[in-house]
Amino acid sequence: MQHVDLEGYFRATQASPPKGPLAIIMAEDPVEVDTTLRHHIQAGFRDVLLLAPDAITVAPELQDDLHRVTYDVHAENALVAAVNRVIEAFPGLWMYYCFNAEYLFHPFCETRTVRDLIAFHAEERREAMLTYVVDLYAGDLERFPNAVSLETAHLDRSGYYALARQDPENNWHPKERQLDFFGGLRWRFEEHVPQTRRKIDRISLFKAKKGLVLRPDFTFSDEEYNTYACPWHNNLTATVCSFRTAKALKSNPGSRWGITTFGWHNSTPFQWHSQQLMDLGLMEPGQWF
């Protein structure tokens, strides 16, 4: 597979731009890169853009289904910068972003594609979708010291909460239909997580438009994009099931040796099924039945 930089990707697609939805996946390390790519290809994304160092390999059978871009994944706000450049290049395109070892789930994803999801969401005049980043972690850290195991993945079945998102430009009054969400490993091990990185909400799925900017906290410059629902009823939400926090806590020197297990009385095996996430209140089907 020929590796190009991001600008080379834009030149290569100039004659035939992606039709979308586009999944932008940044591989920070080699962990579960292939399963992340395969999951999102099977979810129904027509185009997949992989941002990765040259040293990261991809299974041969996946290479024809994606565009590979050589990228400095360790630069500050690397994913945010890439997403903003893609927004600028492809206004009007629906897109999604995540890291490796993260997996998008939406209501009824076993029988409905992400294209079905976007079509319904757009009919409700919504151009962005709130997603919760739900931490996954291996049940046994002795067997899986990097905390990643698809076969024994666990998640927290409770311990999630929301606070009103305050507006510093309006006397710190709550923003309309916006909340900051917390929970999972970032909450239970918050002493190891910087305060600015403790939120678990992202606007991961959205429609690009001219002038739109993704901010480092995974919210957008257009405040309506950051709302969890429209004014008149609940809308769809989705979940990004992620090993990223568990990986970080078990690789960072400040937390690695102090954590022997992520398990607690509210841990439960992850069933890799959207119904479990809906039953736990971690995503909202809205009016989509």
Residue 164 three-state SS? strand
Check whether 1 has a pLDDT greater than 60: no
Residue 170 pLDDT level (bands cut at 50, 70, 90):
confident
In which band, very low, low, confident or very high, does the pLDDT at 2 lie, cut at 50, 70 and 90? Answer: low
> pLDDT class for 167, splitting at 50, 70, 90?
confident
> Could you read off the pLDDT of 114-142 as tens digits, one per residue?
999 999 999 999 999 999 999 999 999 99
For 122, what's the count of Cα atoms within 13 Å in the CB-facing half-sphere?
14
Among 40, 94, 108, residue whose Cα is nearest residue 287:
108
Confidence of residue 172 (pLDDT cuts 50, 70, 90): confident
Amino acid making up residue 19: K
Assign domain 1-100 one CATH number from 1.10.10, 3.40.50, 1.20.58, 1.20.1070.
3.40.50
Where are the domains positioned within the chain?
Answer: 1-100, 102-289
Other C-beta atoms lying within 10 Å of the C-beta of residue 80: 17
Given a contact cutoff of 8 angstroms between Cβ atoms, the answer to whether 182 and 200 are in contact is yes
**Residue 40 phi, psi (nearest 5):** -80, -30
